[in-house]
Amino acid sequence: YHRRHKVCEFHAKAAVVLLSGQHQRFCQQCSRFHEISEFDEAKRSCRRRLAGHNERRRKSSYDSH
């Protein structure tokens, strides 16, 4: 996984990484680094991807009832 995404385990799990002069974090959903402002608190997935994930979950649970 880490080799495929060209990020080592340490930086993939780090709360903050300084990249190109910006504080960033690795997003587990996108497999990319984003600015810290795109994350809620200590979460590892950016808000945009989490919103899509939660929307799909809500839709599938609604369909099953």
Calculate ∠ Cα 20-23-25, nearest 5°.
Answer: 105
* DSSP code for 65: -
What's the pTM? 0.78
Q: Encode pLDDT of 2-61 as tens digits.
A: 678 889 999 999 999 999 999 999 999 999 999 999 999 999 999 998 888 888 888 877
Q: Does residue 44 fall inside a structural domain?
A: yes
Let me know if residue 4 belongs to a domain: no
Range of the domain at 31: 9-63
Collapsing DSSP to helix, strand or coil, 52 comes out as helix
Asked if residue 32 belongs to a domain, the reply is yes
Identify the pLDDT of residue 48.
Answer: 92
Number of domains in the chain: 1
CATH of the domain at 33: 4.10.1100.10
Here the contacts of 43-48 (C-beta below 8 Å, separation 24 or greater) are none
Q: pLDDT tens, 13-27?
A: 999 999 999 999 999
How far is 26 from 22, CA to CA, in rounded Å? 13
Element (H, E) at 19: strand 17-19
